């Protein structure tokens, strides 16, 4: 990841089309490095979670070009490279696994971020009836040691239609359900890092499957 971190660091200082075009070859080298990482994690993690496997793992990468149409920030490029591994395409509303490469701000994540109202309702319904299963997964010592607590924006009160005294009310308040783990630049430069990422993401598979099970059940009804 050395060349990728170097390129992204320079891009954050020179975020304009002229500089990017002059350094397009460096971008292609960085992209190739991230595609290789994505392919490795895709293939290795896919042995444990085959539902994420796709014909071309490079399609899991997000574009580096920013959509500036509705933003006050008109810089044309993202200061990061990342990819999303989940059932279906990036456009499908599913829980999955995300890897984010950015100088001094790299992280991995698992779960679902700000799902639309129907999908969020489906997840809350599943939590309502099967909260003990999800709580048991989230409380596993190995997962908690690596990932910590579930994160995401929460409502201040119980969601409409749910009892504020429900035993899983804290889970029901979530609008996003995400686990995240940060990494330093030094970690990314370690030979062992990509295997650590897979090892850490494997711990979250039961959480991701719980969330996707809720979405699949709702879609089938």
pLDDT at res. 190: 95
- Decide which of 217 and 140 is more confident: 140
pTM reported for the whole predicted model: 0.95
pLDDT at res. 221: 72
**For residue 219, what pLDDT band results from cuts at 50, 70 and 90?**
confident
What would be the CATH architecture of the domain defined by 2-220?
2-Layer Sandwich (3.30)
Please determine, for residue 148, whether its predicted confidence score (pLDDT) is greater than 90: yes
pLDDT at res. 128: 96
Task: List the chain domain ranges.
Answer: 2-220
pLDDT at res. 6: 97
Task: Over range 132-140, report the average pLDDT.
Answer: 97
User: Cα 192–103–15 angle (5° rounding)?
Assistant: 145
11-37 tens-digit pLDDT: 999 999 999 999 999 999 999 999 999
pLDDT at res. 218: 77
On whether the CB atoms of residues 79 and 8 are closer than 8 A, the answer is yes
The per-residue pLDDT of the chain, averaged, comes to 95
158-188 tens-digit pLDDT: 999 999 999 999 999 999 999 999 999 999 9
Task: Over range 75-100, report the average pLDDT.
Answer: 94
Candidates 25, 28, 98; CA nearest to 61 is: 98
Task: Over range 145-149, report the average pLDDT.
Answer: 97
């Amino acid at each position: 990841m050395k060349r990728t971190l170097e390129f992204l660091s320079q891009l954050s200082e020179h975020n304009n089309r002229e500089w990017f075009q002059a350094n397009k070859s460096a971008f292609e080298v960085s992209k190739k490095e991230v595609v290789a990482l994505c392919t490795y994690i895709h293939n290795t993690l896919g042995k444990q979670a085959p539902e994420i496997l796709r014909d071309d793992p490079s399609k899991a990468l997000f574009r580096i070009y920013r959509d500036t149409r509705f933003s006050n920030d008109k810089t044309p490029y993202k200061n990061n490279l990342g990819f999303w591994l989940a059932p279906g395409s990036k456009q499908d509303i599913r829980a999955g696994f995300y890897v984010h490469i950015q100088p001094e701000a790299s992280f991995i994540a698992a779960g679902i971020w700000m799902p639309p109202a129907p999908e969020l309702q489906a997840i809350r319904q599943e939590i309502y009836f099967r909260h003990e299963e999800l709580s048991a997964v989230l409380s596993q010592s190995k997962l908690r040691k690596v990932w910590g607590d579930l994160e995401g924006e929460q409502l201040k009160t119980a969601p409409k239609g749910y009892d504020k005294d429900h035993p899983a009310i804290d889970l029901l308040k979530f609008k996003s359900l995400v686990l995240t783990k940060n990494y330093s630049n030094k970690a990314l430069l370690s030979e062992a890092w990509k295997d650590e990422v897979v090892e850490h993401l494997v711990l979250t598979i039961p959480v991701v499957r719980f969330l996707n099970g809720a979405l699949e059940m709702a879609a089938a009804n």
